[in-house]
A and B are shown apart, each in its own frame.
Chain A
Amino acid sequence: MTGKLERARQRTLADAIREAHILVATGAGGVGKTTSAAAIGLAAAQQGRRTLVLTIDPARRLAQAMGLDALGDEPTQVPLDEAHRGDGTGELWAMMLDMQTTFDRLIDRHATSPQEAAAITSNRIYRQLSSTLSGTQEYMAMERLHELHEEGAFDLLVIDTPPTRSALDFLDAPRRMTSFLEGRLLKLLLKPGMVAGRGIGKVVGAGATAFMRVAGRVTGMELLQDLADFFRDFEGMYDGFKQRAEEVLALLRAPSSRFVVVTSADPPPLREARYFLERLEQEGLHAAGVVVNRVRPEVPRDPSDAALERAIAALEAAAGDDPGAGEVPAPGSSDEAAIAGALRLLADVRNLAARQRRDVAAGLFGVDVPALVEVPLLGGDVHDLAGLDAIAHTLLTGRTP
């Protein structure tokens, strides 16, 4: 039933970590993307590569573990002690994305004059847009990735994508960004005459005027004036912007760019992971594999569930003051009670592990997964190099250290 999945389990991320130039960690919110990205970076550094992890809002203690107390928009080297550095020829660097700085720099680069740049960055619409337009953060992450790629200082760039509602926003970001900025619709709304001859019929023009009357009443005309100014200022920059977005997409399509789909073993993130893998294929993008975080260790099938239940009942009856009353005795009150508690625990863990395994199998059923790595559930959060090292080991070998 899970033939494909079993084959995928035999493969690891080792090849991708050794060969890729860009690795993008993606997945639903709260599945451990940031930790996975950091562990991938560490694994690559241990394999002798000069690696940069570009992260977004890392957990504070994880950031500290990576030596990133005060991180800005520029790469900082993570000091690796002897125990975690592999053969010592690689390097691990990390940085945090500062979206606003990246966006402002993008405007500066494409504006035809400093005055034009200033006009745009002081526009209320721009300020709102750059912080709230959905997909902006995703797009800026890609933009920064491209800058770092052009600078060429690293063998491998690992990027942790923002916690979006849906992981798919990330793929749509460049397209959404340019289609918004192109603003044909808005230009049409603002100055219907302007786009005549671009193949948009008269009917829409008339409708747009109706829309404008409504929008004006709903929003107040000031908003529309700001929009008009924004698009006027932006007009000269649009082509540069669009070309840049196309370059970013081309970079992501290169065979040396691969996506690591991160998920937990719960059905909702697994659904997103599956959808994302299918989307990657449609878009001609390359998947490196799936990382399933927080997987419970598999428990042997002996004794049988029925035998376990019988033994628990017998031990509890032997332990209780009042056999047959059905009360669960305090586990510390006798050896029998303690053993009964331990067997109950075994049954719980076995049930949960079986549930997870079924959920993973069902969630990824029939999908082509190049590699599937299951990272075991650890005691607490990962917040030091030793914790990342253990995950790095699993990503490279498929086994727990």
Chain B
Amino acid sequence: MSGQPSAPGSSPTLEGYDGLLGPHVSIVTGKGGVGKTTAAAALALAGVASGRRTLLVEVEGRQGFSRVFGTQPWDYAEREFRPGLWGAAIDPAESVYEYLELFYGLKRVQWVMERSNALDFVTTAAPGLRDLLLVGKLYEIEARRRPDGRRAYDLIVLDAPPTGRIVPFLQAPEAVTDIVRVGPIRRQAGQIKDMLTDPRRVQAVIVTLLEEMPVRETTEGIDALRAAGIATGPVLANQVTLPRLDPAALGRLTALGAEVLRERAEEHGARMSGRTSELTLELATAHVDRQRYQAGLRAELATTGRPVLGLPLLAGSTFGVTDLEVLADTLALQVGEDGPLAAARFDVAALHAITEGRP
């Protein structure tokens, strides 16, 4: 997956869409608030661009994807909402019905369970069962085949629980075998584990910000996933600040001073107050500090040995579907594929330099 040898301090690189999206399932995780949903959506769009039949799956009932793609709310049904891209929000209650129907032909049970509120127990209270059902559903989708024998989807992108919960989430089937010693759940748990620990079938993709806590959770998450036998694919560094200024430029600006900056801007048609020019200098200093801070955390990520891809902080005054397409193209460019939208929007070489740990 991470083929190319690399210089010390930099990370391995990925070759093409097959390097980025080789396994059938990408489980997208990361610390809360780092933009997992955005990154998962971009990854899925990259999958579509690569020609893969792609399914985007949500498990936490947030309706994050339907909002960002501007569709109707998602539910258990897998629906094609863009050419080549399906979406579903899987929930444990629906999984219970399906499970019982599949294994026991028990349509009638649904009625009984609703009446007796058993679902509430099964899906919210019972130890680990909720996660078991969600992971079980993922297993079912991965194993599903079309009538002609091809996979139902070439790529499944799962917007998974945060890093702190990802291993217990994925291991729920195993955990249940501690208390369930016989029966189909026990048998299926083994098959689910086989899927999760097969690097050709599943990779975890960790999303992070280039900030202290998210980076620490990333390294801890990689260790925990490794211990659980689950392969980690690329780390996606989200909201990377693209360099507008370097230390040399900051040196020039500081030497000029706020007043000269104001005059020169005005000569070129941008009249600004003294307060704005002073603020601009402060922003310039903070910006160069931020680059240095980012580079330090980038170096920390390199110690994990995982390939790192960057998603830039897009400084538009809005954020919408077009931005997701730009981010998908950004991923494509970084693995050597075409990404015209990204190339048109920002300096991709600069992003490369940051995420590959080059000076």
CB distance from A325 to the nearest CB of B (A): 14
What residues on B are CB-neighbors of A315 within 8 Å? 264, 268
Most buried by A among B268, B275, B284, B290: B268
Q: What mask results when residues 26 to 60 of chain B are scored 1 for a CB within 8 Å of chain A, else 0? A: 00000111100100000000000000000000001
Q: A176-B125, A355-B319 are in contact. Are A269 and B33 (CB under 8 A)?
A: yes
CB of B15 within 8 A of chain A?
Answer: no
Whether B264 and A335, one on each chain, are in contact in the complex, defined by CB atoms closer than 8 angstroms, is: yes
Docked complex Cα distance between A348 and B315 (Å): 5
Q: What mask results when residues 171 to 198 of chain A are scored 1 for a CB within 8 Å of chain B, else 0? A: 0000010001000011011000000000
CB distance from B223 to the nearest CB of A (A): 15
Name which residue of chain B comes closest to A327, CB basis: B347
Whether A180 and B116, one on each chain, are in contact in the complex, defined by CB atoms closer than 8 angstroms, is: no
Name which residue of chain B comes closest to A299, CB basis: B279
Docked complex Cα distance between A300 and B284 (Å): 16
Q: A165-B161, A210-B109 are in contact. Are A311 and B125 (CB under 8 A)?
A: no
What residues on A are CB-neighbors of B287 within 8 Å? 345
* Residue from the list A129, A180, A332, A348 in contact with B252, Cβ < 8 A: A332
CB of A254 within 8 A of chain B?
Answer: no
Which one of A70-78, A214-222, A388-396 is at the B interface?
A214-222
Q: A128-B128, A342-B245, A380-B212 are in contact. Are A219 and B104 (CB under 8 A)?
A: no
Whether A211 and B32, one on each chain, are in contact in the complex, defined by CB atoms closer than 8 angstroms, is: no
Whether B179 and A134, one on each chain, are in contact in the complex, defined by CB atoms closer than 8 angstroms, is: no
Docked complex Cα distance between A113 and B268 (Å): 85
CB of B259 within 8 A of chain A?
Answer: no
CB distance from B172 to the nearest CB of A (A): 9
What residues on A are CB-neighbors of B273 within 8 Å? 300, 302
CB distance from A346 to the nearest CB of B (A): 5
* Residue from the list A219, A226, A352, A379 in contact with B293, Cβ < 8 A: A379
Whether A339 and B117, one on each chain, are in contact in the complex, defined by CB atoms closer than 8 angstroms, is: no
What residues on B are CB-neighbors of A337 within 8 Å? 249
Docked complex Cα distance between A258 and B164 (Å): 28
Q: A132-B128, A348-B244 are in contact. Are A331 and B249 (CB under 8 A)?
A: yes
CB distance from B191 to the nearest CB of A (A): 16
Which one of A6-14, A40-48, A200-208, A284-292 is at the B interface?
A200-208
Whether B283 and A210, one on each chain, are in contact in the complex, defined by CB atoms closer than 8 angstroms, is: no
Whether B271 and A203, one on each chain, are in contact in the complex, defined by CB atoms closer than 8 angstroms, is: no
CB of A80 within 8 A of chain B?
Answer: no
What residues on B are CB-neighbors of A132 within 8 Å? 127-128, 168, 175
What residues on A are CB-neighbors of B319 within 8 Å? 355
Docked complex Cα distance between A134 and B32 (Å): 18
Docked complex Cα distance between A61 and B250 (Å): 31
Q: Sample 26 A-B pairs with CB under 8 A, ordered by A number.
A: A31-B32, A59-B213, A128-B175, A128-B178, A128-B179, A134-B125, A134-B130, A135-B124, A163-B32, A180-B121, A208-B116, A219-B180, A222-B180, A222-B181, A222-B182, A268-B62, A311-B269, A314-B268, A318-B268, A331-B249, A333-B248, A341-B249, A349-B315, A379-B290, A380-B293, A381-B212
Those 6 A-B pairs whose CB atoms lie nearest each other, nearest first: A30-B33, A29-B32, A332-B248, A30-B32, A311-B270, A207-B112
Beyond A30-B34, A132-B175, A351-B315, 7 additional pairs, beta carbon < 8 A: A60-B216, A128-B175, A203-B115, A332-B247, A332-B249, A338-B252, A345-B280
